[in-house]
Structure 1
């Protein structure tokens, strides 16, 4: 299938207009000169509707498109207290005329009780989002099954209250990992190919940060559908081991879902798995805890290009990319795109999240 066919297949799906697409794609000239490779940035952080955005906005367009079609009035979603996904879904709900509700967890042992609203929390507060907090002992609620159960029970109770009052409620899993949304980033891949072609560039590698696994399935499905030779490399910010909460097997199943949704042929699992390369060496001490590498990467990109990545997700992903260049895993002269999925709101979080980016 060519890019036009991909666009036609996606165009048949319910969709709610929220962001501004295509998002920009541009060269990082100063950083490229410093490293001897050709860096490009795909700017999902500029998707809108507000100035702090990210890759979840694309997911929301398809998830909320189906929700509006189904008569949904309220959307409940979840995440850690500094969630980018929660913020983006809340903003998308406001655009779509739906009521957002957030259930957020916080590792109070590490980060303390919430004393003031900062970063994404402040933006959610400004939008007037109904927000519920639950304390956990780990960096994210998925660290312990009992925490997952508590969050699910609380959301289901609120859902029951709303439905008893005559509302219709959609529950979206953490990170926007809902089946209706996985197809969204097939469009991100399509845009990157079109934009790089316009610059006369053939991409060799696409790097991105991987957490809840919502960006890669659509992009990888589109690659398989179009037959493009570009390779993906994913830098993890949480464990990606088989048998765990997230794993390559989860990505394989989601890729198959996207291909099925678009009416494309579904290859053997081994074919899809061969396209997945996840590097877990840049997680650091824990989720939402800064690492020396991520702090250095945030500073380096900002000082070369005036562009900001965030401390929880994209800083760690960009740190992995720079390490791969320095250690020779990327050949000199390669054309590399980094998918900037957002996370800039977390630069205004507490030092235990951001680290010292000023030195």
Structure 2
């Protein structure tokens, strides 16, 4: 399979265009000189339609394309109170003429009661998005009781709207929905095309993984094209075999994407062999700043004048830099970091942001 076949297969899918693609691709010249490794950024944070965006916009385009065909009037999605995904889905829904509703969890022991509007939550309220904030006592991904409460709120609101004659679509945390997993095939294809224009052969692709919505598309594109680049994922929350998100789930989603492309589908073991998830940079907890992520945010900002965020991309970039320092990335390699967004969280509370200005 080649890029033309991939683009043709994807062009047949319903899609509501919102973002500005292809997103930019450029070198990090100063960091590259410092490390002896050629670093590049794929700027999904610049996807639009606003200045604060990210990788979920690609998912939203395909999910909402199908939703519009089905006559959906409302989309309910969920996440943490500082969710990047929720912000991007809300913006895409408004663009599509669909009403967004966000059901958000606030980790009270870590972040306190919600008492002021900051970061992504402020932007959601500025857009007039209906939000439901549920106080929880940890990461709602891993606490069954809290997850059940969130599901209950979603189901109740969905039932109310349907009783009024509306058509409602529920999208999982992080934009996890089958219609969206194919979206980041295009991210990989764009990187190949942009790297080729720059005369660069990609050796490694790094990104941050949480809800597992980007990796299936990236992996599927790599496998369909037979490209030798290694994909490395830096986790921002626990992704063990017993968790809702893990490598096995990613493998199954990758199979779905390959099937949609009309590409050969390897067995599970072959796909799992391509998955490389480093969980050492989560820090104390999800959405809590770590020393490594704080240092990585500062290092990139002071070297290149570019910002990554404290919840997701700062931890991902910390993993990339540590791999570079310790030799996991050979000298002279061409390495792309997929900047998936998260800059709105730089304006969150100190627990989330960390002492980045110190």
- Scaled by the length of structure 1, the TM-score of the pair is 0.99
Q: Aligned partners of 1:142 and 1:67: how far apart in 2?
A: 26
Q: Aligned partners of 2:84 and 2:243: how far apart in 1?
A: 22
The alpha-carbon deviation at position 124 of structure 1 amounts to 0.2
Q: Aligned partners of 2:328 and 2:222: how far apart in 1?
A: 22
Say which SS state the counterpart of residue 58 (structure 2) adopts: helix
Q: Aligned partners of 1:271 and 1:16: how far apart in 2?
A: 33
**Equivalent in the alignment of 2:351:** 352
The alpha-carbon deviation at position 125 of structure 1 amounts to 0.4
Query: Which is further off, 256-265 or 1-10?
Result: 256-265
1:190-205 matches, within 5 Å, as: 190-205=189-204
Say which SS state the counterpart of residue 245 (structure 1) adopts: coil
Q: Aligned partners of 2:242 and 2:140: how far apart in 1?
A: 17
Q: Structure 1: which 5+ residue stretches go unaligned? A: none
Q: Aligned partners of 1:2 and 1:162: how far apart in 2?
A: 44
**Equivalent in the alignment of 2:292:** 293
**Equivalent in the alignment of 1:98:** 98
**Equivalent in the alignment of 1:270:** 269
Matched, 1:209 2:208: yes
1:36-47 matches, within 5 Å, as: 36-47=36-47
**Equivalent in the alignment of 1:239:** 238
Deviations 1:88-141 (A, max 9, x none): 000000100000000000011221111110000010000000000101000x21
Q: Aligned partners of 1:141 and 1:195: how far apart in 2?
A: 38
Q: Aligned partners of 2:233 and 2:127: how far apart in 1?
A: 32
**Equivalent in the alignment of 2:64:** 64
Query: Which is further off, 262-271 or 19-28?
Result: 262-271
Q: Aligned partners of 2:125 and 2:209: how far apart in 1?
A: 27
1:137-286 matches, within 5 Å, as: 137-138=137-138, 140-286=139-285
Q: Aligned partners of 2:78 and 2:160: how far apart in 1?
A: 17
- Scaled by the length of structure 2, the TM-score of the pair is 0.99
Say which SS state the counterpart of residue 261 (structure 1) adopts: helix
**Equivalent in the alignment of 1:116:** 116
The alpha-carbon deviation at position 143 of structure 1 amounts to 2.1
Q: Structure 2: which 5+ residue stretches go unaligned? A: none
Q: Aligned partners of 1:193 and 1:301: how far apart in 2?
A: 24
Deviations 1:18-47 (A, max 9, x none): 100000000000010011000000000000
Q: Aligned partners of 1:261 and 1:5: how far apart in 2?
A: 12
Q: Aligned partners of 2:67 and 2:225: how far apart in 1?
A: 29
The alpha-carbon deviation at position 243 of structure 1 amounts to 2.1
**Equivalent in the alignment of 2:23:** 23
Confirm or deny: 8 A CA contact 2:142 2:243 kept in the other structure. Answer: no
Superposed structure 1 runs of 4+ greater than 4 Å apart: none
**Equivalent in the alignment of 1:343:** 342
Deviations 1:150-177 (A, max 9, x none): 1111101100100110100000000001
Q: Aligned partners of 2:191 and 2:110: how far apart in 1?
A: 39
